[in-house]
Amino acid sequence: MDRGGGHYREGDPRPGAGEARRPDDDWRAIGEFRPAGAADAASTAGASRMVSGNGATICPDCGELVQARDRFCEECGRPSDLVVAGAAFKAAAPACTDCGAAAVSPDGYCEQCGMRQPNGREHIEIALEGERNRVPAAGISDRGLRRSRNEDALALVSLPGRVVCAVVCDGVATAPGSEEAAQLAAETGVSFLARRLTAGAPADSATRSAAGRAARAVAGLGGADHNSPACTYVSLVVDADTVTVGWVGDSRAYWLANGSSALLTEDDSWAVQKIARGELSTDEALADPRAHLLTGWLGADAGHVEAHVRTFVPAGPGLVLACSDGLWNYLPDPPALTAAASGEGDPLGAARRLVQAALDGGGHDNVTVALIPFPPTDSSQANATAEHSRENRR
């Protein structure tokens, strides 16, 4: 399948059209949606553990960068109770990996031959390790087969009391600095989620606040109108009873379970907007070249950002998936995703199968997935591990 990858905002040029999706209406067969404000508070206490694709995190109090080696935020003095693993934005290589020249620019390009240097984000695998070798969450972000860099980002956090959170972000293709925007949004969002939930905030309130904090962080990167760093955003909070989803843009969340899989989000896209307003039929909207245009995103030119928030009560066990469009462009239907994820092993194995399915389909875009089993395993003693590979091409 040959799909146009990446993201385009309204006002940006975009080739081709994509497929817009809406959540299924028949929730009774798979679970129940609660209206915003009706979710129970996530009662948690103690330290949290986070993994991201970066070697640093964002202080939830003041928003300053906190390096993994730091025990305190240098700006406000807050103790660093988030355990971070991985390394994303590595310093540029001292010599070009292609021609050997020592002239590598700060933005990662060889000044001699022009080749972009690997930065460690070409393929990232993350797993939270819980008690008795159970994995309470896992995620993978892959550059894909056609892109020169990975502009997706993900972060995971486990909290005491069987609460696991994830954030996936996808940089807008036409926006400079989208790689940094996605990474900043993912880390800010999951850090603030952990902070709010640990303080006893309800999951829906924490989700909305975290998305708002991430939006402000990305807006702070600046830039001119329609030329500022931008990204999409989707978050998960999974506890023993509910799944709370927040999103802006067209990164999606799915419920995966045999016989009851469903899309949990509704794209912020031109096609979905036209269908919802009754201005076009589904077939007419999806056939339009503007179908995939984003109508919601994080960035300085996004205006006021208000995340969509939904709380879902599953009727039984399953997997909760957050992903970028690099996956759902190839597997948009929930049953197909469930089939692709199925197999032996833990959530990391399922994540690998989903990413491979996208690569087998063409891999035209970056592919990022985060998977959390429901109900979550006890992760109060979780350890965070991450693996990075510069190349994972076929």
Alpha-carbon torsion, ordered 269, 270, 273, 275, to 10 deg: -110
Question: For residue 16, is pLDDT > 80?
Answer: no
What pLDDT, on the 0 to 100 scale, is given for residue 131? 65
Token duo for residue 72: 């305190």
Mean pLDDT of the chain: 78
Three-state DSSP state, 369: strand
User: Cβ of 177: how many Cβ atoms within 10 Å?
Assistant: 21
Check residue 358 and report its DSSP letter. H
Of the given ranges (22-26, 47-51, 321-325, 382-386), which has the lowest mean pLDDT?
22-26
User: Cβ of 45: how many Cβ atoms within 10 Å?
Assistant: 10
Alpha-carbon torsion, ordered 248, 118, 372, 310, to 10 deg: 0
pLDDT tens-digit readout, 148-203: 889 999 999 999 888 999 999 999 988 889 999 999 999 999 999 999 999 999 99
d(CA 46, CA 198): 7
Question: For residue 363, is pLDDT > 80?
Answer: yes
The dihedral through the CA atoms of 169, 174, 175, 177 has a sign that is: positive
Which residues make beta-bridge pairs with 53? none
Confidence class for position 110, pLDDT limits 50, 70, 90:
confident
Token duo for residue 276: 């919802």
Integer-rounded Cα radius of gyration of the chain: 20
pLDDT tens-digit readout, 53-80: 544 555 555 555 566 556 556 555 554 4
pLDDT tens-digit readout, 286-330: 899 998 899 999 999 998 999 999 999 999 999 999 999 999 999
